[in-house]
């Protein structure tokens, strides 16, 4: 896999993870309340959102490192 392909894959992964982090915070009719105090799609919000954003940030850091070496 070339550096360009890996960079594109990391970029797409980071975008997907940021979108999924936002989706976990969407209001949803469920039985459990998250720690923010409302019913959301993911009952582990905001921790799941933070974890997804952390992994997206790591993917962006690796992508920047790859692009710097090119």
Distance CA 62, CA 7 (A): 9
Residue 56 tokens, joined: 């997206």
**Domain boundaries in the chain?**
3-69
Instruction: Say what the pTM is.
Output: 0.90
What was the pLDDT predicted at 30?
86
Distance CA 18, CA 2 (A): 24
- pLDDT band per the 50, 70, 90 thresholds, residue 70: low
pLDDT per residue over 5-43, tens digit each?
999 999 999 999 999 999 999 999 988 899 999 999 999
What residues have CB less than 8 Å from 34, skipping those under 6 apart? 40, 42, 43, 44, 45, 46
- pLDDT band per the 50, 70, 90 thresholds, residue 55: very high
What was the pLDDT predicted at 24?
94
């Amino acid at each position: 896999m070339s550096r360009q392909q890996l960079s594109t894959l990391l970029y797409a992964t980071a975008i997907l993870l940021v979108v999924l982090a936002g989706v976990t915070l969407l209001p949803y009719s469920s039985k459990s309340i998250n720690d923010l105090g409302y019913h959301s799609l993911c009952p582990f919000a905001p921790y799941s959102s933070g974890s997804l954003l952390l992994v997206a940030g790591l993917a962006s850091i690796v992508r920047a490192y790859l692009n710097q070496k090119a």
